[in-house]
Each structure stands twice: as C-alpha cells, then as structure tokens.
A and B are shown apart, each in its own frame.
Chain A
Amino acid sequence: QVQLVQSGAEVKTPGASVKVSCKASGYTFTKYYMHWMRQAPGQGLEWMGRINPNSGDTNYAQNFQGRVAMTRDASVSTAYMELSGLRSDDTAVYYCARPLTTGVWEFDYWGQGTLVTVPS
C-alpha cells in the first residue's frame, strides 16, 4: 500500500533553515510528482511547490521563490523540502502529497505532516 512517511517535528530559530523529508513506499517513486503544502495555525492549506522525482525538475509557488528548495534521492525513494530564512509566520504543519494515478493536481496520498515551529 502507498505510504508517505515524513520526518519528525522541528523547532528552529528565526533565520535558520529546516529540511523535511518524505519517504515513499508502495509505488514507483519516480513515476509521480511529489508536492508540498503547509498549513499555519488557524489558516488554510497553501501549496508550496512540486518536484519531478525522475528528472529533479521543480516548480515553486511565487510566495516561496528564493526561499524553498525541493530535492529528491530516488535511491531511497525520499523527497525533501528545505525552507530557509525562517520567520515566525513559517510556523506550520508541512505536508508532502502524491497525485492521483490519473491526475496532476489532486492528491489521494498525504504524509502525516511535520510540525515546524519558529518561535518569535
């Protein structure tokens, strides 16, 4: 069965970077884009970007351009999202998600979420 397992919670100081991992299993990792979303406390979901695990090509949301880097290690079926220049408003639960087999922008498999806390 498809599973996305994310790394554990992090507490970071302002200005630092955080790198969240997402280990995939149960399917061919290189066949599906991996997307990253986040949800800040009391806020809605926000799309951060996606990576093609086969080529490494990325697309980032404009809000995160220059601060986010998505990478992957296909040998261990793991995608990574690194966010730099952390601010208190980056405190959020970060999710990785995989699209439907027949889809592009709709996600039927999600990681369990990783809480990143940046104290003000």
Chain B
Amino acid sequence: QSALTQPPSASGSPGQSVTVSCTGTSSDVGGYNCVSWYQHPPGKAPKLLIYEVSKRPSGVPDRFSGSKSGNTASLTVSGLQAEDEADYYCSSCAGSNNLVFGGGTKLTVL
C-alpha cells in the first residue's frame, strides 16, 4: 500500500483538461513543498514533470501544471494529447530523510 493516495485511473478526450489528485498527510504533502509529479510510460524510465509543487523543468510543456491545498496535491494536464497517455506518479518528501510515492494513476486519452 502506497503512502500517498492517487486515483487508479483518469481519462479525458483530446483537447480537454484532466486533474489527478495525490492525497497524503501533514507529515508529507501537507508539511513540505517538495511534491513532484512524474510521467511513466510503460517500459521506460519516469520523466519529471513538476517539482516543488508547481515548478516545471525546462522542456516540459506548460500544459502540465501542479498545485497543492492542504494535504492534497494535484496535477492538471490541459489540452490533452494522445501522447499524454501514461501512468502518472506523485511523490513527496516526508521529513529530511524520507520520500514517499503515490500508487500511480493511469491516464487514458479517449
């Protein structure tokens, strides 16, 4: 059982927006601004999409955005494209020496 809770699946049509939630506790998501989001295509290494709740690494389209409210972080994918179909994982630091992940959300582009 993963430390952070994500919905197992999400879906949307091309061009639509979809939001994936990531719920933790005050000991992880709610207590620190170190939430990250990764896109994980099958058979490949994860790709960092969002870090420190809402920052995007260079090269990540601005269609991907992150936010946090209390113990829940969210990833929003706007203008859905077929290539966005993948598994998405959130992570959060949990103190100075621990990192926890969510169970992952399979995003389907209808």
A interface residues with partner B (beta carbon < 8 Å): 35, 37, 43-47, 59, 61-62, 95, 97, 100, 103-108, 110-113
Q: Write out the residue numbers on chain A whose beta carbons fall within 8 Å of the beta carbon of B40.
A: 45
Given A95-B45, A105-B93, A106-B51, CB of A44 within 8 Å of CB of B99: no
| Residue among A46, A95, A105 having the largest count of chain B Cβ atoms under 10 Å | A105
Which one, A46, A103, A110, A111, contacts B101 given CB within 8 A?
A46
B interface, how many residues as a size bin?
20 to 34
CB atoms of B102 and A105 under 8 A apart: no
Which 10 pairs of residues, A with B, have the shortest CB-CB distance?
Answer: A110-B45, A106-B51, A47-B99, A44-B103, A59-B97, A45-B101, A106-B36, A105-B93, A44-B104, A44-B2
Interface residues of B (CB under 8 A from A): 2, 34, 36, 38, 40, 45-46, 48, 51-52, 57, 89, 91-93, 97-104
